[in-house]
Amino acid sequence: MQGLGRSLYHLRVRNQDPTTLIGIVLVVLFGYLIAAPIFLLVTDAFVVQFADQGRAGQPMGELTWYYVERVFFSRISMDVFWRPLMHTALISVSAIAIALTVGVPLGWLMSRTDLPAKKWFSTALIVPYMLPSWTFALAWLTLFKNRTTGGSASWMESLGVTPPDWLAYGFLPITLILALHYTPFFILLFGNALRQFDSSLEDAARSIGAKRGTIARKIILPLMLPSLVSASTLIFAKCLGDFGVAYILGVPVGFDVLATSLFRAISTSQTGMSALLALTIVILGSVSIFIDMYLLRQARRFVVIGSKGSMNRTTALRGWRLPAFGFAMSIFLISAFIPLMALLLTTVMKVPGVFALSNFTLDYWIGTDVGTTALKQGILLTPEFWEVTWNTLWIVGSAALGAGFLGLLVGYVVARTEAKSVATFLRQVTFLPYLVPGIAFAAAYLSMFAVPRGPLPALYGTPIILVLAILADQMPFASRAGISGMMQLGRDPEDAARSVGAGFIRRLTSVVVPIQKGALVSGVMLPFISGIKGLSLVVVLAVPGTEVLTTYALRLVDYGYSQASNAVVLMICVIAFGGTMLVQRLTKSNLSDGLGNK
Amino acid sequence: MSSISIRDVRKTYSKSAAPAVDRLNIEIPKSDFLCLLGPSGCGKTTTLRMIAGLEHPTEGKIVVGDRTVVSVDEGIYVPAEDRDMGLVFQNYALWPHMTVAENVEFGLKLRKVPKPERDRIINDTLEKLAIARYRDRLPSQLSGGQQQRVALARMLALKPDVILLDEPLSNLDAKLRLEMRAELKRIHAEMGATIVFVTHDQWEAMTLATTIAVMSEGELQQLGTPDDIYERPANRFVAEFVGNLPINIVELQDNSTNPLSAWVHGMLADIRLTAPAGSVGIRPEHVRLVPVETSPRPATVIDIVPTGGSWIVELSADGEKFFAITPEPPGVAPGEQVGLSVPHESLHIFDAAGSRIEAVLQQTTGGKS
Ligand SMILES: Nc1ncnc2c1ncn2[C@@H]1O[C@H](COP(=O)(O)OP(=O)(O)OP(=O)(O)O)[C@@H](O)[C@H]1O
Ligand SMILES: [Mg+2]
């Protein structure tokens, strides 16, 4: 009898509000949307797939090393894995080297000197990161492509020079573009580290007679190292998963990286092989991110955060002010202004690169007789464009809304539930997509949803798979925002509401959500922006009926309609840039705070 | 108005940790003003939150009025939102997105009080606490003291039977604190609510409470009126915790080679004890300074600190620190010798475990040494 009373008591205590129940629902949901697809990816790589029975010499569904052998050791392994791996490695290392060379001086100029127009630069130099990386690949094509890819002539061609392939495509442009796109990582991370560095440490060293060079080498550098390593590993992880740039600039000349090799395996329906390739990318990405987290934890042990009184001395550049300004300005021009202007100008010129008044036209935007076969009118008059825009807005919009609210719920459960295992699982499972580059995540979604699963029909080909994939892909950020928001909020406001008689729903709607409004706005807006410009995830999952702006732009590239595709890309840039600025304004946050998010 | 009965309550936050509250039994009559007093971390907030329903006991039972709000063995647990108690938090916990008026209105809305009635109550309550001017401000635009009063207003507007206050005055400056203390007393007199008030400030407890519960390490040490607590501390902990100046404790060894304990032993000779004494406490205000010749216990004056109306005399008796407090200038200077004298009836006698021993003064030889 007494035992019964106790059980009843614990039941009542545990169920006084549905937090744990919601937690369990979330566990099931994310188990389904995140853990299961990734798990399937793993199994797909190691069991015989449909249509491979003959080649593997095993019945379907049996455990096999066939794909491992095929990817790593067969005749084709050079083409599908080793060469792309080498390319990826070479590109990442060179991109990191360039980004470091450019970003570190900029980071220092922005944080510790009297560089003119510092404030303006602090936004201007980050622009490349706000926009999709493959935007710059399109700009590159606009300027430098040759007859290897069709369509209208590039600016260089119009000037009468035919760019050689090595300049137009492949390693060089891919590396340069990725380097410039990710240079902001160094500017922000290194700049922030310098900003937090306590000048009194320098003074202390100087006071015992250390020379400037010695100080830089022995004191500043070791303390800055974590930020440099962090930026490098993050860039490596990003380069691993970057699909668009390599697709646009590499594929025309058969230059493959891991992401494009995976894409080819997917588009030729080689399920087992693509699963294994995706898995390899995931493992490489995870290793680099864990190394980064480990190093950051190590670094935190001896971090020297400037105390309130600590001075953050600015170095006077004196005679170097102008050259420094010139340097920063030229980086801005090269990495943002020129590419965007090239894109923009292409859309209003009949013949690219010819600056004669008669050559300018608005036909590609609003004309009615452009003269191309499939796209007879300007992009703004094309119904398909508006359909795709509408698709994008509602697909990405609902994914972002879902991610934002689920993120808040995850935060609520993690902060409140007494079931620690639920909290831990939710925290980890929502972080998982962070380790999985978009293209590999898309592969996982194909494994999961290309066939009917349980009560669900096959979702491939429907917009739902896009919504779910984008939502899941954005969960790392959304749940992190939710968790930190709820942790900061603490229990008190809610406890106070309970004490005046507010039940669970009431507390959630009248207290928690209104207080978390800011976090919620950024938890919805940032996934929205990142979903709008994302390419690698949707390029695998979208089909003609469910196209979004990014895949539409890519298709226009494939058709050779560069003016139209540039126009679409510019629209995406406007949304991405405007959205980012809006969020920063609304939340008074800085892009660097969220750095490392997808 | 409701009584509160706390029976055999224990709370352990995690299996490995020591209980935050243990074997707690407190009966609070209706309309009582009870102060939970104790050092930081002794379980005061935990106790209060268990009464409010924001924490659940691991063992035990709590009855409010004639309603059992929680009983582990009987499987009863009433959630906080259904307990109808007024609670003020240590850090106010105002809702940052609501104005002062909205903060007060929220609970009234939940009780479906009609709008005109709501407005009247809000105005009255804000008037009474002198914060009507700030009704449209957000909490972040208020000073600490103003926020404090909003927190009080939010609770008072609902006219609860039971009011739970967690160190509500701790963040106020001295003057405001005095004002709010008077305010609380007035509210108590006016509403007749049962109040449980948490504090670690003994002076606050002494001046406000009708009953004080002294806690230490999760356990109740003594429950009694402020006078009880001060005059008849149940054990050494209470004796040492309560009192502006620390009580003088003399350890008693059996073979009293220590002159100080020999002196106390001498005094105890006149007293019949119900158990063997382990130590004795002497409050500084009960120590009298007499000419050296008239006392068997000489001491050296180390320092004299005037504290406005009284004088704290720091003494050294055979190397042991000893405090006296005098209502008049002591008339001695540092370095001089004085004699100590203590009336027998003001000795607090504790056994070896530290519990109070009631003493019976022997009629024949009662007096001073
Ligand atoms: N949520 C919690 N989880 C684990 N331990 C807790 C929790 N809350 C309190 N404790 C522990 O329980 C004990 C009693 O805490 P409580 O907050 O009741 O003390 P308190 O008397 O109110 O102290 P203070 O005067 O500092 O407010 C402390 O040892 C504390 O560390
Ligand atoms: Mg407390």
Give domain limits for chain B. Answer: 4-240, 246-361
Confidence category of residue A119, pLDDT binned at 50, 70, 90: confident
Shortest Cα distance from A512 to chain B (angstroms)? 10
Of chain A, the end-to-end C-alpha distance in Å amounts to: 56
Taking CB atoms and an 8 Å limit, are B80 and A495 in contact across chains? yes
Q: Is the pLDDT of residue A598 over 50?
A: no
**pLDDT recorded at residue A312:** 57
Taking CB atoms and an 8 Å limit, are B106 and A502 in contact across chains? yes
**pLDDT recorded at residue B120:** 96
Mutation choice for ligand 1 from B9, B24, B46, CB with most ligand atoms inside 8 A: B46
Cβ of residue B180 lying under 6 Å from some atom of ligand 1? no
Residue B366 and residue B369: Cα distance in Å, rounded? 9
pTM of structure = 0.81
The answer to whether A510 contacts chain B (CB < 8 Å) is yes
Complex prediction ipTM: 0.84
CA of A147 to the centre of ligand 1 (A): 75
Taking CB atoms and an 8 Å limit, are A13 and B93 in contact across chains? no
Residues of A in contact with B89 (CB under 8 A): 492, 495-496
Q: Is the pLDDT of residue A353 over 50?
A: yes
**pLDDT recorded at residue A219:** 74
**pLDDT recorded at residue A510:** 93
B246-361 CATH: 2.40.50.140
Dihedral of alpha carbons A547, A550, A553, A559, sign: negative
Count of A-B CB contacts under 8 Å: 86
**pLDDT recorded at residue A1:** 58
> Concatenated DSSP letters for B235-295?
BHHHHHHSSSSPPEEEE--SS--SHHHHHHHHHHTTEEESS---EEEE-GGG-EEE-GGG-
Taking CB atoms and an 8 Å limit, are A499 and B82 in contact across chains? no
Nearest ligand, CA of residue B219? 1
**pLDDT recorded at residue A591:** 53
At the top level of CATH, the class of B4-240 is alpha beta
Higher pLDDT, A585 or B188: B188
Cβ of residue B43 lying under 6 Å from some atom of ligand 1? yes
Q: What is the mean pLDDT of chain A?
A: 84
Secondary structure element (H or E) that encloses residue B311, with its range? strand B311-317
User: What residues are paired with B249 via a beta bridge?
Assistant: B281
Cβ of residue B42 lying under 6 Å from some atom of ligand 1? yes
**pLDDT recorded at residue A114:** 87
Contact B22, B46 (CB under 8 A): no
> Concatenated DSSP letters for A451-481?
S-BTTBPP-TTSHHHHHHHHHHHHHHHHHHH
The mean-pLDDT minimum among A252-261, A426-435, B260-269, B348-357 falls in B260-269
Mean pLDDT to the nearest integer, A328-334: 93
B28 phi and psi angles, rounded to 5 deg: -110, 110
Residue A358 and residue A365: Cα distance in Å, rounded? 17
Shortest Cα distance from B282 to chain A (angstroms)? 43
Nearest-CB residue to A8 (from B75, B93, B155): B75
Nearest ligand, CA of residue B166? 2
Residue A278 and residue A439: Cα distance in Å, rounded? 8
CA of A498 to the centre of ligand 1 (A): 20
**pLDDT recorded at residue B118:** 95
Q: Is the pLDDT of residue A296 over 90?
A: no
Nearest-CB residue to A16 (from B73, B79, B94): B79
Q: Which CATH number fits domain A362-598: 1.20.1250.20, 3.30.479.10, 3.40.50.1100, 1.10.3720.10?
A: 1.10.3720.10
Residue A107 and residue A122: Cα distance in Å, rounded? 10
**pLDDT recorded at residue B37:** 94
Look at residue A164 and give its three-state secondary structure. Answer: coil
User: What residues are paired with A536 via a beta bridge?
Assistant: none
Residues of B in contact with A7 (CB under 8 A): 75
What percent of chain A clears pLDDT 90, i.e. is strictly above it?
Answer: 23
Nearest-CB residue to A498 (from B80, B91, B155): B80
Domains B4-240 and B246-361 share a fold: no
Nearest ligand, CA of residue B18? 1
A386 phi and psi angles, rounded to 5 deg: -70, -35
Mean pLDDT to the nearest integer, A346-365: 77
pLDDT in tens, A546-575: 888 989 988 888 887 888 888 898 888 888
Other C-beta atoms closer than 10 Å to the C-beta of A485 total 22
Contact A540, A264 (CB under 8 A): no
- CB-based burial of residue A531 (10 Å sphere; 0-12 exposed, 13-18 middle, 19+ buried)? buried
**pLDDT recorded at residue A589:** 58
Domains of chain A, residue spans: 94-268+281-306+320-355, 362-598
Superfamily designation of domain A94-268+281-306+320-355: MetI-like (1.10.3720.10)
Residue A270 and residue A56: Cα distance in Å, rounded? 13
Residue B165 and residue B35: Cα distance in Å, rounded? 9
Domains A94-268+281-306+320-355 and A362-598 share a fold: yes
Q: How are beta strands B33-37 and B194-199 bridged, if at all?
A: parallel
Nearest-CB residue to A514 (from B53, B82, B97): B97
Q: Is the pLDDT of residue A311 over 60?
A: no
Name the closest-CA residue to atom 9, ligand 1. B46
pLDDT tens track, chain B, 369 positions = 789 999 999 999 988 889 999 999 999 999 999 999 999 999 999 999 999 999 999 999 999 999 999 999 999 999 999 998 999 988 889 999 999 999 999 999 999 999 999 999 999 999 988 899 999 999 989 988 889 889 999 999 999 999 999 988 877 788 888 888 888 888 899 888 999 999 988 888 998 999 999 999 999 999 999 999 999 999 999 999 998 888 998 888 766 567 778 888 888 887 888 888 889 999 999 998 888 888 778 889 999 999 888 899 999 887 888 899 998 888 888 888 999 889 888 889 999 888 998 877 655 444 444
